[in-house]
Amino acid sequence: MSIAPSGTSSTQNPRLRSLAYPYLGAAAAGAAGLIVERFGSARVLRHYQTARLRALLRHAYETVLFYRRRFDQAGFHPDQFLTFDDLQRVPITRKADIRLATDEEAIAIDCDPSRLHRHTTGGSTGEPTKLRFTAYEDRLLRTFRLLATMRLGLRLRDRRTQLRTDQPYPSKISEHFILPSQIVYAFLPPKEMRANLCQFKPDVIRGFPSALASFADQITDEDRLHLRPRFLTTDSENLTDLAREKIEKAFKAPVFDIYDSYECNVIAYQCTRSDGYHVMDPAVVVEVLNEDQPVQHGETGEVALTSLHAWAAPLIRYMPGDMVERGPSQCACGAPNSTLAKVYGRTHDLFLLPDGRRLHPKYLAAPLRLVIPVLRLYQIAQEATDRVVVKLQLVPGVEIPTEQLETVRTGMLRHLGEGVTVLIKVVDDIPSEPNGKFRPYRSYLNQGAVA
């Protein structure tokens, strides 16, 4: 099967094409989305999403072989998309489908593959996914992320620090008039890292929850005279109650979580007035599905994402493998965005129990609140259907009484049910993954669980 080029992009002015190669219409609509995010009502947001979906589905069918085949196999044609609810007719796209697609299949025919930005996901399942964006699409998604941070309280003159884990490099500072920034390698010696941040004096700090929690353990009272961030943001990992408590206590500032991915950049950001998340509706359509059917408010399901601004290599009803709880249609704070109540993490971290249940291990963390004051890190892992191992890394120089450990173990067994043993180990260190991320929960039973 082949798709004939529409012929429209070849006649565009070369200078205009360099601005938003090669989709000027989509680029203009993306810029309009930034305005909608700032000023749109719930009705305007849904109207914008519906219009972008209609255009995206037609574009994917006409120019992307991967989606032409999938739509035809499912008996779907873009003309059938009349209302937002018609998105249910579009076939689901899973990670394995995207991994197997070649450039010729996944990239739109009017787009030069050599001009695309390419990213690779972190590979938490053991199989990284290759992603492709135009330069404009990449920048647009970064701008949506900036808007999300501004919703959390970022000001244009704020000084921003980001703790990075991907590669070691010297501290980098960009002293712009607007949003001066600093990048610091998260695994620097503690004294050097503290000196870097104290000298820069950031107003906002961003990092993985594990990196910020580890850094929080090193902060001294003298450091706090110079380190006074107004708030911190976490992303890319599961923000545990332990990590949140340690970070907020050390920095004496609130922590707001951002649910993001390589595929869409920002997906949702935590409400400043509640524990729920506001979805970045002008950038991504988020569905919460159970067995490919929508769940109701308060129910848990798997996320399906449609990136409204990925035209070079579209992602439509794409399931990255994340578990969330669907929130109400509108947040209690009055924001017009759709919502998520909770973000749990990867589906491959679900525990498969002897009684047939699938349990997210985050529920097992509740009994650990008894020992939070002496914990640095914890990891809950399922090694067999009937065996769970809990690793605890303690604050140096302290011990947990045996009776408290038994109380923790008993609390976990209440969630796990009969036929499961829980072994608690106190260890000196719990390493991060090779990609720099820390996994507080993991199951060795699921394929690819070991990264």
Choose among 129, 52, 79, 126: nearest CA to 320.
129
Given this model, what pLDDT does residue 10 score? 39
- CA–CA dist 342, 300 (Å, integer): 9
8 Å CB contact between 130 and 97: no
Partners of 185 in the beta sheet? 164
**C-alpha to C-alpha distances, 380 to 4, 191, 362, 425, nearest whole angstrom:** 52, 30, 9, 10
Supply the pTM of this predicted model: 0.85
- At 395 the pLDDT is 86
What is 40-106 written as a DSSP string? --HHHHHHHHHHHHHHHHHHHHHH-HHHHHHHHHHT--GGG--SGGGGGGSPPEEHHHHHH--HHHH
Distance (Å, rounded) from C-alpha 96 to C-alpha 125? Answer: 11
Read off the tokens for 449. 């669980």
Q: Are 347 and 323 contacting, i.e. CB atoms less than 8 angstroms apart?
A: yes
* Residue 169 confidence (pLDDT): 63
Are 160 and 189 a contacting pair, CB within 8 Å?
no
How high is the mean pLDDT in each 10-residue block of the chain (451 residues)?
51 44 76 91 96 96 96 97 96 90 92 86 62 91 96 96 78 85 90 92 95 90 93 93 92 96 95 95 97 94 96 95 93 95 86 88 86 88 94 90 93 91 94 82 69 33
With beta carbons less than 8 A apart as the criterion, state whether 390 and 425 touch: yes
**pLDDT the model gives residue 15:** 41
Q: How far apart are CA 403 and CA 395, in angstroms?
A: 19
pLDDT at 339: 97
> Nearest-5° angle of CA 84, CA 338, CA 243?
140
Residue in the structure block whose two tokens are 């869409």:
264
Radius of gyration of the chain (CA): 23
Cα–Cα distance for residue pair 182/227, rounded to 1 Å: 14
Burial level of 355, CB count in 10 A (0-12/13-18/19+)? Answer: exposed
Three-class SS state of 145: helix
DSSP 119: E
Structural domains of the chain in order of their starting residue, each with its CATH number:
1-153+230-347 (3.40.50.12780), 350-443 (3.30.300.30)
Predicted confidence at residue 30, as pLDDT, reads 87
